[in-house]
Amino acid sequence: MATALATRTHRINLRTTKKRKSLLERGAVASGQNLSEFVLSSAQEKAEMVLADQNRFVISPAKWDAFVTALEKPATRREQLARLMSEPSVLER
């Protein structure tokens, strides 16, 4: 991970409960990381997921029209899929 190799010059101070710290320490040990790296990588992953939902995608008007046309098409019945969905799942057998 490029972030792990970068020089760290900024601090984040956190307060937590004994129970939460213990949970984080166990998670760090289980993942083979120290506590700081575990907390930072987990927080970074969460931030990336949250921010990914806020990205803006730009496409040409022609591609937008093609996309809208595809969305507006009526669904095509797929017999094999319909049969599969009508059978009990492996969890229900």
Confidence of residue 2 (pLDDT cuts 50, 70, 90): low
Enter the pTM of the model. Answer: 0.55
Report which residue type is found at 36: S
Q: Which two tokens stand for residue 10?
A: 């900024």
**pLDDT tens digit sequence for 25-37:** 999 999 999 999 9
Q: Of how many residues is the chain composed?
A: 93
What is the tally of structural domains in the chain? 1
Contact 35, 28 (CB under 8 A): yes
Residue 93, domain member (yes or no)? no
Residue 92, domain member (yes or no)? no
Range of the domain at 45: 2-86
First to last CA, the chain: 44
Residue 91, domain member (yes or no)? no
Contact 4, 37 (CB under 8 A): yes
Residue 39, domain member (yes or no)? yes
